[in-house]
Structure 1
């Protein structure tokens, strides 16, 4: 199996939407998804994109065809305290059968690399306080809890390390 990370394309919207619904079910909120494929298409590929997405794929599955095993959706933020942009990870999801494959780490590394390349001061996200496996995974990558917000942040040396730049 070969793992790859690539920017999402318009043809990926149906699988992204399916992953969003699977993530909502995992987070015990299956009825909370209001987005449609059309909404995601507009948000990711419309005239004024609101977000970007990456797809994690593995090759060698089912007769050698590539298959999507996860995704990440993120967007630009701004901090008046740093005077610089940041990246906010809205969703990261890996299918249950692909967890432990390194896809989650590869998605985080790719986004951290984009943050470094774009001169961002921060790479942040939320995690549910009961999702101990995710919290442990993020801590192992250098994230530091912002407990008053339950926000995860990777910056400075930890961001460079996560991006593979140190």
Structure 2
């Protein structure tokens, strides 16, 4: 790892930075129109009474350079919790310095320390640089599984049935 790289847990004061990272990632993924998160909501969800997720901030030479947002899920087959990486992002100016690798190693260590049976994430099928990076780490794509999602009106409709 580059000597100028520091990883640290996010604190409440980082919420504006976390939101900036989320927006930058969404722009890269061509999904900026889907970001509705705001600082108040993130503060409550990440630093409230029952945090829904955790964030690690990566700094390079004292500058905010990237982040990873993750949470625990549970595998009924393993009978153990897992660690799910929701977002990993490194700002373009800091790429190629090992920040992504440092973040992934950090999360892998957390998963092992916390007794997790899995460390999982999703990646857009067109993001070939990310997929190549994950393959170099030893990750395997789950070809037999597809992500399913209910949101918006469909979610509200199902919740209101019966």
Q: Secondary structure at the match of 2:44?
A: helix
2:71 and 2:144 mapped to 1: Cα distance?
22
C-alpha contact 2:65 2:91 (8 A) present in aligned 1: yes
Is it true that 1:118 corresponds to 2:120 in the alignment?
no
Rounded to whole Å, the distance in 1 between the matches of 2:20 and 2:79 is: 36
Q: Does the Cα contact within 8 Å between 1:89 and 1:123 map onto a contact in 2?
A: yes
TM-score (normalised: structure 2): 0.87
In structure 1, runs of 5+ residues without a counterpart are 60-65, 152-166
More strand by share: 1
Provide the C-alpha distance between the structure 2 equivalents of 1:149 and 1:67, rounded to a whole number of angstroms: 38
Residue in structure 2 matching 1:11, options 7, 10, 13? 13
Larger Rg: 2
Gaps of 5+ in 2: 148-162
What TM-score do the two structures reach when normalised by structure 1? Answer: 0.85
- For each residue in 1:17-45, what CA deviation from the matched residue of structure 2 results, as whole angstroms up to 9, or x when unmatched? 00100101100111100110111111110
CA RMSD in angstroms, aligned pairs only: 1.2
Q: How far is 1:93 from its partner?
A: 0.4
Structure 1 runs (4+) greater than 6 angstroms displaced: none
Aligned residues: 145
Find the residue that maps to 1:21 and give its secondary structure: helix
> Can you list the C-alpha shifts for 1:50-77, whole angstroms capped at 9, x where unaligned?
0000000012xxxxxx111000000000
